[in-house]
Amino acid sequence: MDDLALLGAFAIADAIRQRRVTAAELIDRHLARISHDNPRLNALTVVFADRARREADAVDAALAAGTEVGPLAGVPFSVKESIDLTWSATTQGWRALADAVPERDAVVVSRLRATGAIPVGRGNMPDFGMRWDTDNDVFGRTVNPWSASVSAGGSSGGDGVAVATGMSALGLGSDFGGSIRIPAFANGVAGLRPSLGRLPRAAVSDQPVALTLQQFSVNGVLARRVDDLERSLPLLEGVDAGDPVSLDLPSVSAEAPRRVAVTRDPLGWGVDDAVAAAVDRAAASLSAAGWEVEHVEPPLLEEAAVLWRRLACTDMAFTLDPAQLPVPLGRSATAFLRDSTAAARPYETAREYAEAWARRAVVAAAWRRLQQEFPIILGPVLARRMPPPDFDLGGQDAATRAWRDLRLTVAVNFLGLPSVAVPTGLDERGMPTGVQLIGPMHGDRLALAAARDVEAALGTLTPPSR
């Protein structure tokens, strides 16, 4: 297959603008990859071949006429099944929403389309994004392109696989508990979970939204290059009246103190050797690039992870009560919800729930004090090698192990911090490794600067072709 489909998004846009390739040719090359890989990998649930070709033709016509085009004109992107795109139903991986075609695009979609980028397909996800693997009863399982024996991650697994394999150049995903960073780690790509409020989220209806969704979930981007994450951020960020959590946020300068707190084994609960080695490689890369690196344990990390879990499961048990749903959740989502909520011990009283939210300010203040001294925190996304499919199923013990392995990742969601997942090479089995770089609140660009230095030293990854 043609390597042009594996360029970065802005490199593709430059090639189109400079007329080294037409937008039509570029879209056809991505569609060829979809035809070749998607039947096996099931990353994209819907493919917009005809519409994408028409939009590509419009880009080429504008360039031929000398008309100015947007910075991502002709670049194909995928959209997670939970983010509104008027071209197809926003199913959220649930059968009851199979015909739920939205009336308008989510703001992040409309902003990306305004740059000239072209939707090429919908990214698969588990029901309501609840799982850390990607499978549902509507579309089936997404397969990791590196090995079918390993999970593709979730919940933005379809977009992670699409970006890794050149089906799309950018993926719009969301991250409530690692749902961008885990697929990035699993598939060897880069992923940005921005600060809470930096990117508007899916269109908000008149229906109530659970407090954990308001505070823990953000829209973000998956890409093959950190540069694409960094350059796409100003095109997507900014306040939108439809999302009351969105803000016009100040940015912590990328020139802030270049100091990194490294946590190789958060809380000392154990990590795989390959995970520890990946953190060490990233730390060495940052040190060589001029960052001051020290091993420091983030404060109140266990409390942050526990509070995220109990609050999230309390809201899930309430909002996804099987007795209140018109159509049951899929089989795997039902098992995950049952086992996770039972193991997490949801709060039973309003007082407990309120006290848990009150502790968030205490934890956030402790982290803010740390990040004044060490603006960047480097650590694992997952404490073990990417496990097999359905690693988050199998009873309460499996659900608890998955949460424990993701302790640093979910703490980021609890606090609303920005974090960039970036590859760190292959392990001895030839599988991707990676880390995350956590910035201070509103320090998205600082986290991206650190990720860029890791990528410069350790390179990017491409799955083997089949």
CA 272 to chain centre: 23
Tokens 């990390």 found at = 301
CB 24 within 8 A of CB 56: yes
CB 129 within 8 A of CB 82: yes
447 contact partners, CB below 8 Å, separation of at least 6: 376, 418, 419, 420, 437, 438, 439
Q: Would you give the end-to-end CA distance of the chain in angstroms?
A: 10
- Fill in the amino acid letter for 186: A
CB 223 within 8 A of CB 423: no
For residue 216, the SS3 value is helix
Alpha helices in 85-156 (DSSP H): 107-114
How far is Cα 387 from Cα 406, in angstroms, rounded to an integer?
A: 12
Half-sphere exposure at residue 302, Cβ-oriented, CA atoms within 13 angstroms: 4
Tokens of 76: 């194909």
CB 2 within 8 A of CB 29: yes
CB 376 within 8 A of CB 279: no
Residue 187: closest CA among 124, 128, 136: 124
From the number of C-beta atoms within 10 Å of its C-beta (0-12, 13-18, 19+), residue 292 rates as exposed
Tokens of 287: 């040190």
State the catalytic residues. Answer: 80, 155, 179
Q: Tell me if the bond preceding 155 is cis, omega within 30° of 0.
A: yes
Tokens of 53: 């070709």
Count CB atoms within 10 A of the CB of residue 362: 11
What's the count of helices (H) and strands (E) in the chain, helices before strands? 15, 11
